[in-house]
Amino acid sequence: MSPTDPTTHERLYRTLRGQIMLGELPPGRALTLRGIARDHHVSMTPAREAVRRLVAEGALTLSGSGRVATPALSDDRIEELAALRALIEPELAARALPRAHFALIDRLALMNGRIADAVERHDAVGYIRCNLEFHRMLYLRAQAPAMLAMLETIWLQLGPTMRALYGRVRRNEPPRHHRMILAALRAGDEPALRLAVRADVTHGLRHLTSTEGA
């Protein structure tokens, strides 16, 4: 396979995107094309193309001097992104509700158990991965790909900050609002579901914009 093969670029893009979304790279981490190419055993061309796409998505920042870095978000930017989550995620959950069969709810409960395991192990990346998967698993049932794609871009921009947050917030249990989400799904209660999802997002916002944690 040629080092400039499109599949090489796509694989690198998805690897870097996953690392950023899961908080494996801290906020403000400087990156170089040479370093990316070296670490992932690719040429400069796929590294450059992957970075270009990630900058376009807001997953990486590019300064006027050409410095590439993971985003270090201000409180105002965090509030803006969290407000978007609070608009989009309740709508996705409500659209998913008519298709949220009991097997899906059982899978969501199982994923919530994995979140609890990650908390117990103090596994920040595992926690973020399972938490996003909990939400994605539900929202896929909404059959609203444009909204979900927009939401994933927001998650992507928040990834490094979420990882930094985990390091300063003491977490002893999975998000309590997930239990409310599961209860609303089982009851088929759309207003309660919207409220639980919105509370889950805004609860995180309070932590993200506070140095005190919880």
Q: Which domains does the chain show, CATH number per domain?
A: 6-69 (1.10.10.10), 75-208 (1.20.120.530)
Tokens of 156: 């992507």
- For residue 205, what are the CA distances in angstroms to 81, 142, 162? 9, 24, 10
Residue 214 in this model has a pLDDT that exceeds 60: no
What burial class does residue 47 get, using C-beta atoms within 10 Å of its C-beta: 0-12 exposed, 13-18 middle, 19+ buried? buried
Residue 210 in this model has a pLDDT that exceeds 60: no
Backbone region of residue 167 per phi and psi (left: phi > 0; alpha: psi in -120 to 50; beta: other values): alpha
Tokens of 162: 């979420």
| CA gap 32, 15 in Å, rounded | 16
| CA gap 109, 177 in Å, rounded | 12
Contact 55, 62 (CB under 8 A): yes
Supply the pLDDT for residue 6.
66
Contact 27, 158 (CB under 8 A): no
Contact 201, 89 (CB under 8 A): yes
Please, what is the Cα angle at 175 between 94 and 179, to 5 degrees?
A: 55
pLDDT per residue over 171-187, tens digit each?
666 678 999 999 999 99
pLDDT per residue over 116-142, tens digit each?
898 888 888 888 999 999 999 999 999
pLDDT per residue over 25-48, tens digit each?
888 899 988 999 999 999 999 999
Residue 17 in this model has a pLDDT that exceeds 80: yes
Handedness of CA 184, 187, 191, 192 (dihedral sign): negative
| CA gap 172, 21 in Å, rounded | 23
Which residues on neighbouring strands pair with residue 68, listed in sequence order? 31, 62
Which is more confident, 121 or 212?
A: 121
Tokens of 211: 């140095």
Q: How confident is the model at residue 207 (pLDDT cuts 50, 70, 90)?
A: low
pTM of the model: 0.86
